[in-house]
Amino acid sequence: MPTHYPRLFQRHPRNPILTAADWPYAVHSVFNPGATRLADGTTLLLVRVEDRRGHSHFCVARSANGIDSWQIDPQPTLQPDPERFPEELWGIEDPRITYLPELGQYAVVFTAFSGSGPGVALALTRDFRTFERYGVIMPPEDKDAALFPHRIGEYWAAIHRPVGYNSANVWLSYSPDLRHWGSHKLMLAARHGAWWDANKIGLSPPPIATAQGWLVIYHGVRQTAAGSLYRLGLALFDINTPERCLKRGDEWVFGPEEAYEQRGDVGNVVFPCGYTLEADGDTLRLYYGAADTSIALATSSVSALLEWLGQHGRPVGERNGDRGRKGPAA
């Protein structure tokens, strides 16, 4: 397919790299994994697994090369526990992993599907075998959240996506102890009208620290006559004041094109919750859910994404979004 747009992400030829058929126990679908590289170089995916009730849990898959020969935990790694954590009534979804050097632990921020709707919950782990739950850190309706790897000044910081009036925007909140959250700031607003990222956006994988600032890959959801269309865009934020957007790209950079992205339980969805960086510190592997059905891999490089933003990004206005008229709720 000829195109004059730059190809920033290369899909792996073996996509989808993981499907329900690879699982050691009965599951309906596997998608939207969190990702990290362990100290020994192993790629670890914390996979959202949906069972035939429609409820999700997490299961760990490990691979030496991050592409194949996955060692999948023989049973669920982290199950919803609605007896102790009622907010997990209908499952746990879309984990984002951030390693916190200060604590020597991984933070897993995920969607807890409660009777009041989806909220943001946090758990800490050292080994992806036992987890210490912190419970809900942002009440419903909120999702698409991740921690920054270190404090900003004195405070921990989390990106999340509360649903607001007529639009769902990306917010930033601060905490002294990972339990109490405040100083809430709007970080990135959905645009309106015809834009690809009109009305509803959200963080995709956790923010990426670069020499130019925090690189954020976010998803935009366009409502079409045929349903929702999930695509990815780029923005850059000040390293010390991450609510300050330095640049935002106008155009989306990755969207559903292949059959496994266009067809599935929810077609036309690419939904990354995790990335890993190769030893060169630049090669970026994006692990994403394809059509809420399977897991795929696309590769890019931090320098290429920054270069694209340098050419195509522009500062956002003081209102942090489009100045056009607001459209209907998404």
Residue 142 binds ligand BMA, judged by CB under 6 A: no
Of the chain, the end-to-end C-alpha distance in Å amounts to 31
Q: Give 190 or 316: the residue with its C-beta nearer to ligand BMA.
A: 190
Q: Give 191 or 200: the residue with its C-beta nearer to ligand BMA.
A: 200
Q: Which amino acid is at 218?
A: Y
Strands 56-63 and 43-50: antiparallel
- Least distance (Å) between residue 32 CB and ligand BMA: 5
Q: Which amino acid is at 52?
A: R
Helix (H) or strand (E) run with residue 308 in it: helix 302-312
- Least distance (Å) between residue 230 CB and ligand BMA: 6
- Which residue's beta carbon is nearest to the bound ligand BMA? 266
Q: CB of 249 within 8 A of CB of 233?
A: yes
Task: Kindly identify the residues of this chain, within the stretch 31-90, that bind ligand BMA according to CB under 6 A.
Answer: 32
How far is C-alpha 169 from the chain's CA centre?
14
Q: Give 153 or 328: the residue with its C-beta nearer to ligand BMA.
A: 328
The binding track of 216-235 with respect to ligand BMA, each residue x by CB under 6 A or -, is --------------x-----
- Least distance (Å) between residue 245 CB and ligand BMA: 22
Which region, judged by CB under 6 A, interacts with ligand BMA, from 129-137, 161-169, 265-273, 278-286?
A: 265-273
Task: Kindly identify the residues of this chain, within the stretch 266-325, that bind ligand BMA according to CB under 6 A.
Answer: 266, 269, 271, 289, 292
Contacts of 102 (CB under 8 A, 6+ apart): 150, 151
> Residue 261, Cβ neighbours under 10 Å: how many?
26
- Least distance (Å) between residue 121 CB and ligand BMA: 14
Q: CB of 202 within 8 A of CB of 217?
A: no
Q: Which amino acid is at 250?
A: D
- Least distance (Å) between residue 92 CB and ligand BMA: 11
Q: Is 18 exposed, middle or buried (0-12, 13-18, 19+ CB in 10 A)?
A: buried
What is the torsion angle, in degrees rounded to the nearest 10, for the CA atoms of residue 314, residue 204, residue 256 and residue 329?
Answer: -80
- Least distance (Å) between residue 196 CB and ligand BMA: 15
Which region, judged by CB under 6 A, interacts with ligand BMA, from 66-74, 133-141, 185-193, 263-271?
A: 263-271
b vs e for 264-291, b when ≥16 Cβ sit within 10 Å of the residue's Cβ?
bebbbbbbbbbbbbeeeeeebbbbbbbb
Pick from 73, 87, 94, 142: which binds ligand BMA (CB under 6 A)? 94
Q: Which residues bind ligand BMA (CB under 6 A)?
A: 32, 93-94, 230, 266, 269, 271, 289, 292
